[in-house]
Structure 1
Amino acid sequence: MGAIVLSTAGLVGISAPAHAVTDAGAGAIIASTMFQADASEAGQREISQSDFNWGVRSSFRNYIKGPIAGGSITAVGGAAADSAGILTWSNGAGSLKEAESFSGRVSFTGGVSYRGHAGDQYEGGYGLNVDLTNPTIEFEETAAGVTGVLYIDAFANPYGGAEGIDEKQVPFANLTFSDGFAVEDDTLSGTATATLHEDGVDAFIGFYEAGSQLDPITFSATLAPAVTEVAPEAPTQNGGTVTIPEVEGIEYVVDGEVVSPGDLELESGVPLKVTARAEEGYALTEGSTSEWTFEYEAPVVAEASLTVTPTSDLDPNGQTVTIRGSGFDTSADAPAYLPVNKAGFYVQIGWIDEEWRPSEGAPSSARSNAYSVWVQDTNADEPYMLWDEAEDGTASFTWEVEIDKATLDEKQREGAQLAVFTIGAGGQQQPMNEKVIPISFADETESPEPDDTESPEPGETETPEPGDTETPEPGDSESPEPTQSETKSPNDNTGSPSADAVDHSVDDLTEDNRGDIDVPASAKAGETITVNVGEEYAGEQVDPVLFSDPYVFDTATVADGGAIQVTLPNNVTGEHRFAVYFAGETGADGVLGWSTVTISAADNEGQDAKDADDTGDDSEEVTTAGTNDNEADKSGGLAKTGAEPVIVAIGGLLLLVAGGVALVASRARRNGMQQ
């Protein structure tokens, strides 16, 4: 065996009642300090069972029991004594540390009371009163062998010239163990000689000098399995999250509770203390860090602000409103398929349900709009708007837009509130960017009062004399000016191509962008069809278009399930190409996908409608989704192909002039993307 270092670590003191004995000296319990070993240090093994035999000093026992002292020897506190006064202690506990050498410490409870020289003149009834209890044996391996010290609680009353003693764990005896004292398997046993320690002289009330020979001791112990040394791994922090690692033999404790490996969320401004401790059979590596404190301060996010001017008494026939926003969050990135870098947000004017917020699970059907702009960092062209980014990274914007009641009424839903509102774009759900301000129009203008001009009395009107009326010369009559065509309402299912479609061409539809959408193979005129675009586009805005004479439906928002709904015109039949563009995009690159659909006549249409349907493929207009109650639909829509030449001749000039005006007017038909 090599060099050894004595270890006394892990011994825990437990307080006990003060010294007490009975007059008879028998059965008295001497309580003191019991040491409980802690075998949690690396290289230590718990001593779970130990026995210790010792007679203290034979000559002292003989004196006590002899005729001079006439006394007694009594075991107390769990120790046992034979007739000769030899003591046995059992159930000792402690620890053994094994490194290059070994050392250890074992404690016992109980002891012995010596009484002699009985007499009433003595306090307690005895002139000689000595108690030795609760021994502790420390030992260590040295180059010269295994040595140690026996500590004991000592009490002795004054006797002769001795002052007496009452102390705990007094170094009482020096021990020298025999060569056979060693660890074998799970046991440690051997014997040791003992001599009186200088601090133990007073315990024998001066009877013996330091170094006097005491009785030898016999010691044995059973060892628990060895402890494995382990170093804890430090938890890691990422923002407001602390990750607890998984380490064999280590458990982590927060607020007195063991926590499982994984993530812990930090509360802003509240420190979190994490402590590592060894599990049973393990010990922390000496010098390793076992305690950490984490802190987190959540960033202060500015509250987004939305203002609308004016908000009430808006002119139903047309009102310019100014919408300003600031403090909007800009952190969300846009999906790769969108033509912007940051997802941004929509500013919309329309109708919302009581529960309308996407972040709270409201579907897109809880919102409808007639005016919309997409605020982001990349594109300035309509229907986009560039935001102004502040130093703190938030966005602001100003949008001036003219609105009217009729356009908004087309999007009205029962029970919905008219409002300006904002929501995250690009499929993002951002509660901080969901703002709303209700708006309202003034009451409709009242009909004018009847004209106060007096009607002429009967007979006052002059009747022209015959011949007074001038007959115009041939060619003098002025031809009536053609009337300007009214712009078609988005819900009119009439058969003219949409002016909005001038930038969409059938040439945009190629084999490369064919497919990618699911269109019904067949449908009836006037029927609402469902077109599956794909769940990956949920929340995105798209432009549906019917070819070959292109007509753009109102911009639609892809529902959570990946679909849009479109209502076909009432008078369109034949095979057509149905395409879906990204909102505001043109050209082949703007096509999300396309397919064909065969449209048959509605069940309730008559022969005239059938004749109108025979105009061929890709020749009729397409309208936006929604119901269609206009008179053109009820009367069968467009005139039949093959209309009488007379009608064509008469209307030719008027159609040419009115058609040009209608083309320009219809460009204003769409006012934004639909959510």
Structure 2
Amino acid sequence: MPEARAARAAGAARRRTAAVVVGALALAAAAAVLPAPSGAVPGAAAATGASSCTVSGATLSWGVKESFRSYISGSIAKGAWTPEGGATYATPAFGWSSGAGELGDDAAGDVATGDVAFTGSVRFTGHQGVLDTTIADPVLRFTSPTTAQLLLDVAGTTQEGVAVSSPDVPFADVDLTASPVDPATGALSFAGAPATLTAEGAAAFGSYEPGTALDPLTADVPVACTAPVDVEEAAVASDADPGASQTATSAPAAASGSEGASASADAGPTTAALAWSAVAAGALLGALAWLLVRRRRLAVSASPTAHDDEETP
């Protein structure tokens, strides 16, 4: 009888152990094929809710101020101006070309803000060298669909002989009301936009009061814009059509060559898969430990000494 009871106990223990081991292996198998969490939608990380426009080949034409040019070339100052570094002059305006930059969304969601930078300078001299002022590297800064600023590096001496060295001076406010920014047209072109001297410009230039009307600006700013992508819509589309998501994400990888392929190959398991693997491993180890303990107890119960003790009244 004791031997039969021990045999039945051992069989039951083996069945329970087998069930636990099978369950642990099932958990491990599930972890191996567990998909990525729904929040980690391929392609959604690259999606953006913002639009952007790249600018290249822009041109700018501006005469600074006609009365100032007349004063420089007149009989009092007996001076001149010299375009340098790519700037040009064709009466009645100075010219800059090859402007480049980017425009992005403003607070209202319009693609209307950003900088377009040019290179080149104009040096004004007069009064036998007392006046020697250089304006250089203009930046056309769009601040809204209807406003912009002209920034200039100003250096040298004013007509009063005051030394100045001021980079990126917000020199003039530009009114674009008559030609509002509209990147959808493929170019931001405006002609004769009114410009007024700012307080910073007046301090750096030293010849006129803030608010003085300057010569109007004319510019042609070609743009290439990317349409905005809604992050939530991209995620929903990716869930609905994984193949489309794969196509969208494979294009950048192909463009980047071996780097894109390496990044895809190095992608590790998801956090959820790692968690399930840990649970499965813990269950398997627990089953093995329980099995060892159970076997030891069965061995003890099946020993002759145990039988003798069990049969002793």
TM-score category (smaller protein):
0.5 to 0.7
Give the deviation of 1:159 after TM superposition: 4.3
CA distance in 2, matches of 1:112, 1:198: 21
Measured against aligned partners, the alpha-carbon deviations of 1:584-641 in whole angstroms (never above 9, x if no partner) come to xxxxxxxxxxxxxxxxxxxxxxxxxxxxxxxxxxxxxxxxxxxxxxxxxxxxxxxxxx
Partner of 1:147: 147
Give the deviation of 1:64 after TM superposition: 1.5
Secondary structure of the equivalent of 2:284? coil
Partner of 2:135: 132
Partner of 2:119: 109
Measured against aligned partners, the alpha-carbon deviations of 1:251-279 in whole angstroms (never above 9, x if no partner) come to 89xxxx7521784169xxxxxxxxxxxxx
Amino acid at match of 1:91: S
CA distance in 2, matches of 1:52, 1:223: 15
1:331 maps to which of 277, 284, 298: 284
Change (3 A) 1:175 1:247: same
Pairwise CA RMSD: 4.1
Identity %: 28
8 Å contact kept, 2:101–2:117: yes
1:45 maps to which of 40, 49, 53: 53
CA distance in 2, matches of 1:51, 1:63: 27
8 Å contact kept, 2:52–2:111: no
Partner of 1:169: 168
CA distance in 2, matches of 1:147, 1:166: 26
Q: List runs of 5+ in structure 1 lacking aligned partners.
A: 1-39, 119-125, 235-244, 267-291, 300-328, 334-341, 345-375, 378-385, 390-394, 401-675
8 Å contact kept, 2:83–2:122: yes
Partner of 2:42: none
CA distance in 1, matches of 2:226, 2:180: 19
| Structure 1 residue 387 corresponds to structure 2 residue 292 | yes
Partner of 1:202: 203
| Structure 1 residue 260 corresponds to structure 2 residue 268 | no
8 Å contact kept, 1:150–1:173: yes
Change (3 A) 1:128 1:399: same
Pairs within 5 Å for 1:454-603: none
Measured against aligned partners, the alpha-carbon deviations of 1:153-197 in whole angstroms (never above 9, x if no partner) come to 11132543x633211111111111252344253121113111111
Larger radius of gyration: 1
Partner of 1:211: 211
CA distance in 2, matches of 1:163, 1:54: 25
Partner of 1:96: 103
Measured against aligned partners, the alpha-carbon deviations of 1:15-70 in whole angstroms (never above 9, x if no partner) come to xxxxxxxxxxxxxxxxxxxxxxxxx8711211223111001011111122223222
8 Å contact kept, 2:62–2:218: yes
How many residues end up aligned between the 2 structures? 224
Give the deviation of 1:397 after TM superposition: 8.6
8 Å contact kept, 2:143–2:149: no
Partner of 2:14: none
Pairs within 5 Å for 1:88-487: 88-97=95-104, 101-104=110-113, 105-118=115-128, 126-141=129-144, 146-157=146-157, 159-160=159-160, 163-183=162-182, 185-191=185-191, 192-205=193-206, 207-229=207-229, 231=231, 248=248, 259-260=263-264, 263-264=267-268, 331=284, 387-388=292-293
8 Å contact kept, 1:187–1:222: yes
Change (3 A) 1:263 1:399: farther
Partner of 1:451: none
Partner of 1:86: 93
Amino acid at match of 2:123: S
CA distance in 2, matches of 1:42, 1:396: 67
CA distance in 2, matches of 1:86, 1:249: 49
CA distance in 2, matches of 1:65, 1:187: 36
8 Å contact kept, 1:73–1:85: no
Change (3 A) 1:249 1:175: farther
Partner of 1:585: none
CA distance in 1, matches of 2:283, 2:293: 11
Change (3 A) 1:398 1:172: same
Give the deviation of 1:214 after TM superposition: 0.7
8 Å contact kept, 1:102–1:140: no
CA distance in 2, matches of 1:107, 1:221: 11
Q: Which has the higher helix share?
A: 2
Amino acid at match of 1:202: A
TM-score, length-scaled by structure 2? 0.59
Q: List runs of 5+ in structure 2 lacking aligned partners.
A: 1-47, 236-244, 254-258, 301-313
TM-score, length-scaled by structure 1? 0.29
Change (3 A) 1:187 1:397: farther
8 Å contact kept, 1:45–1:227: no
| Structure 1 residue 75 corresponds to structure 2 residue 83 | yes
Change (3 A) 1:85 1:185: closer
Partner of 1:513: none
Change (3 A) 1:107 1:187: same
Amino acid at match of 1:116: G
Give the deviation of 1:101 after TM superposition: 3.6
Give the deviation of 1:74 after TM superposition: 1.1
8 Å contact kept, 1:171–1:197: yes
Measured against aligned partners, the alpha-carbon deviations of 1:83-114 in whole angstroms (never above 9, x if no partner) come to x3621111111223356544133111112111
